[in-house]
Amino acid sequence: MTVLAPDEGQVRARDLSALFAPRAVAVVGASNDQSKYGNWLSVQALRMQGRRAVYLVGRRGEPVLGEPTYRTLAELPEPVDLVVIAVPAAGFEAAVEDALAAGAKAIVGITAGFGELGAEGRAREAALVARVRAAGAVLLGPNCLGVLDSTTGLSLASNPLPAGSVALISQSGNMALELSRFLTDRGLGFSRFASLGNQADLGAADLIRSCAEDPGTELIALYCEDFGDGRAFVAAAADAVAAGKPVVLLTVGGSAASVRGAKSHTGALTSDSSVIDAACRAAGIDRVTSPRQMADLLAALHRFGRARADRVAVLADGGGHAAVACDLAEAQGLSVPEFGPGLAGALRAGLPPSAGVGNPVDIAGAGERDIASFTRTLRLLLAAPDVDAALLTGYFGGYGSYGERLAAAELATATELGALVREYGKPVVVHTMCPDTATSEELRRQGVPVFAAVEDAARCLGMLARRAEPAEPPGRPDGSGSGAVTDDGYWTARELVRTAGVAFPAARRAASPDGAAEAARAIGGGPFVVKALGLLHKSDAGGVALGLTDADAVRAAAQDMTDRLAPPGFCVEAMADPSGGVEIIVGVRRDPRFGPVVMVGLGGITTEVLRDVTFALAPLVPAQAKELLLRLGAAALLHGVRGRPAVDLDALAESVAAVAGLAAAHPEIAELEVNPLLATPDGCLGLDARIVLAD
């Protein structure tokens, strides 16, 4: 098996300086019509005057927004680095040619009407990209909303966006606008914004690499529906994460549309969403499910980085909120451990006798009498070595409604809480019934995440706790398999997998019932299995006979199959004893974007019933295969339960890696499956295999 280095064969970062830091820009399609993109972009472009040369180009040549315009780019007094084109689709190619002739090294295509409309549009896009690349330029879009860089003062998007340290790469303009509102509420903004559009030339991977190198970018946020070259996307994101710039992804998926035609268990169990999850794990990407979740996680990462959040202390000013917060935290996979006597005693010394101090901590009405108790209590919690994070829930933020004195004290306490969070560096989130008060705003100003719903606060900590450590990215499939596979029969599949390193029982092929009996005698011993060849799902069709004691029984079973199914031949195998092992399925399906994706799960007839499966991008090394196996819900079976011995996990991982590597080396294989793969204390044995060739 060949596993390439993570960056081998990857496209290196393209020079996007003309896109994000141009010396001179032009807007083609400038207009006074406030319903047109050409108008909106001109408004934003003119904000850059004084920082860089800005030229408006409109075919009428009339002033736009009170500024002079040029009829063509050829009339400009100097070359321009960046040209934004917002003209009807029929004139887009000519505008691109004019831009290249004017010296543009970056073009932003606002114009729609290309690849999103079908094959003809994609052909036009391909021709445009070839022309742009031949000129040494780059194209963002077409069918996009523009580009922005707050560190260079570039403003060529349809809407102004708040400045900050988050780079947003998005295929949806509305998602960008909604996220900007959420980030503004959390004190964050954008270092860069790039609207992907159709990704005809520049794709998500190109922009991730550029943002990872941008000193003004701390975090990278993506809304992506089409990942283009999925392996390049994974490699770029992995490099960004390794460079200390987290990547947070919002995407769509979960539909079975991409696997409706799947012919194996592997295909039936794989969805777009599971493939994307596998890609995210490979790259260390954090995946979220809504713009608000994205904003919450970005704010938490901005404030707390990679701090742990697994063991949570819950601090409340009421028993109800305390109990609900504990349930919600544990539902997020967090631990709410009981405190030891030392911490519990220290907490009790500063709280009323009725306070709960075991975790959760319920200050039992101390807030209105001694609001500083919040500060004292949180300090003790954050100083505890077995506390990773804290969730404060309840009425804090609303005590100011009881009068000016308490309002001032609560505001001062909020400032002190912010200082505590900075001092200890541990994640702290606050749920308050009063999220719109001066106290809540002070907490936000101090960098403490504030939530109006306790479930959102718990989920935020859960997202921090579930963040995977950056993994070793998978190699790129190199298609180096010796000889293309042209036959999808069982014998071919079996021998291909066996040659790759997965053991199978002794077997012989036979063309007739008499030949099957001879094969059994040649194998020797017993019992035997007879499998009819040439059938896609042998068991479902009655093409498998088990537990045949001798050659005569093998002949009879083969004759019965001949009478019912008329197969072209048979495979006679020595029958393995499955009683001392665990049946596993290992399969690989080739995804059109991310390439081969390996799946493991409980095998045999339980596969599609239990659906206990995990996924990863192939190829794998054995250590990665072992991690994949240990993520199964039924992983305890592999370690031995109720007196059953543990299986040879190293041998099982090597077999999984062998299957993954085999499929990755043969691009002509659309699906490859070994089911079951019998894992025993003494090693592994493949009991069935199936290949589906690409159309």
User: pLDDT digits over 8-35, tens only?
Assistant: 334 567 999 999 999 999 999 999 999 9
Structure tokens at 124: 């036009």
**What pLDDT is attached to residue 157?**
92
Percent of the chain, pLDDT > 90?
79
Q: In this structure, which CATH number among 1.10.3720.10, 3.40.50.720, 3.40.50.150, 1.10.10.10 belongs to the domain 17-144? A: 3.40.50.720
Predicted pLDDT at 271: 52
Write down the CATH number for the domain with range 307-465.
3.40.50.261
CA distance 31 to 339: 66
Q: Which of these ranges, 163-177, 234-248, 481-495, 583-597, has the smallest mean pLDDT?
A: 481-495
3-state secondary structure at position 381: helix
Question: pLDDT digits over 374-414, tens only?
Answer: 999 999 999 999 999 999 999 999 999 999 999 999 999 99
Q: Is pLDDT at 264 greater than 60 in this prediction? A: no
Count CA atoms closer than 13 A to 439's CA, side-chain side: 27
Q: Which CATH superfamily is domain 578-693 in?
A: ATP-grasp fold, B domain (3.30.470.20)
Question: Chain-wide mean pLDDT for the chain?
Answer: 91
Give the HSE-up count for residue 515: Cα atoms under 13 Å, Cβ half-sphere: 12
| 17-144 against 506-574: fold identical | no
Query: Is pLDDT above 50 for 674?
Result: yes
pLDDT tens across 512-522, in order?
999 999 999 99
> Is pLDDT above 90 for 535?
no
Kindly report the backbone phi and psi dihedral angles of residue 74, in degrees, each rounded to the nearest multiple of 5, phi listed first: -65, -20
Mean pLDDT, to the nearest integer, of 224-251? 93
- Say which residue, 488 or 253, is predicted with more confidence: 488
Give bridge partners of residue 586 from the DSSP assignment.
600, 674
pLDDT score at 12: 65
Would you put residue 548 in left (φ > 0), alpha (ψ -120 to 50) or beta?
beta
For the stretch 442-459, pLDDT in tens is: 999 999 999 999 999 999
Pairwise CA distance, residues 572 & 527, whole Å = 11
- Residue range 481-486: mean pLDDT, rounded: 78
What's the pLDDT score for residue 266? 44
Q: Which residue has the higher pLDDT, 610 or 138?
A: 138
Q: Token pair for residue 161?
A: 């966006």
Where does residue 64 rank: exposed (0-12), middle (13-18), buried (19+ CB within 10 A)?
Answer: buried
In this structure, what token pair is assigned to residue 517? 């009996």
Checking if the pLDDT of 342 tops 80, the result is: yes
pTM of the model: 0.89
Asked if residue 607 lies in contact with residue 625, where contact means CB atoms within 8 angstroms, the answer is no
Assess if CATH 3.30.450.30 describes domain 506-574.
no
d(CA 36, CA 51): 25
The answer, yes or no, to whether residue 265 has pLDDT greater than 50, is no
Per-residue pLDDT at 257 exceeds 60: no
Provide the CATH number for the domain formed by 161-305 in this structure: 3.40.50.261
Annotated domain spans of the chain: 17-144, 161-305, 307-465, 506-574, 578-693
Look at the alpha carbons of 119, 84, 150, 447 in this order and tell me if their dihedral is positive or negative. Answer: negative
Length of the chain, in residues = 695
Encoded tokens for 107: 């073009």
Angle between the N-to-C axes of helices 291-304 and 454-465, in degrees from 0 to 180, rounded to the nearest 10: 60
User: Which pLDDT score, from 0 to 100, does residue 641 have?
Assistant: 82
pLDDT band at 605; cut points 50, 70, 90: low
Predicted local confidence at residue 484, as pLDDT? 86
Please check whether residue 675 is in contact with residue 585, taking contact to mean a CB–CB distance below 8 angstroms: yes
Strand partners, 585: 601
Are the CB atoms for 228 and 202 separated by under 8 Å?
no
Question: Looking at residue 310, what is its pLDDT?
Answer: 96
CB atoms within 10 A of CB 524: 9
User: What integer pLDDT is reported at residue 270 of this predicted model?
Assistant: 46
Residue 139, classified by CB atoms within 10 Å of its CB into exposed (0-12), middle (13-18) or buried (19+), is buried
Residue 195: strand pairing partners:
170
User: What b/e readout covers 370-408, taking b as 16+ CB neighbours within 10 angstroms?
Assistant: ebebbbbbbbbbbebeebbbbbbbbbbbbbbeeeeebbe
> Cα separation of 483 and 578, whole Å?
34
The residues, ordered by sequence, that sit 6+ positions from 298 with a Cβ below 8 Å of its Cβ are 166, 183, 186, 188, 219, 221, 248
Give the pLDDT confidence score for residue 36 in this predicted structure: 94
Q: Residue 6: its pLDDT value, please?
A: 36
Q: Would you place residue 5 in the very low, low, confident or very high pLDDT band (cuts 50, 70, 90)?
A: very low
> Which two structure tokens, joined as six digits, stand for 299?
């704010």
Across 316-325, 537-546, 603-612, the highest mean pLDDT is recorded for 316-325
CA-wise closest residue to 211 among 183, 179, 236, 176: 236
**110-142 pLDDT tens trace:** 999 998 888 999 999 999 999 999 999 999 999
pLDDT in tens, 557-581: 999 999 999 999 999 999 999 888 9
pLDDT of residue 260: 43
CB atoms within 10 A of CB 530: 28
Q: Which of 46, 232, 247, 56 is nearest to 153 (CA)?
A: 46
DSSP state of 318: S
CA diameter of the chain: 99
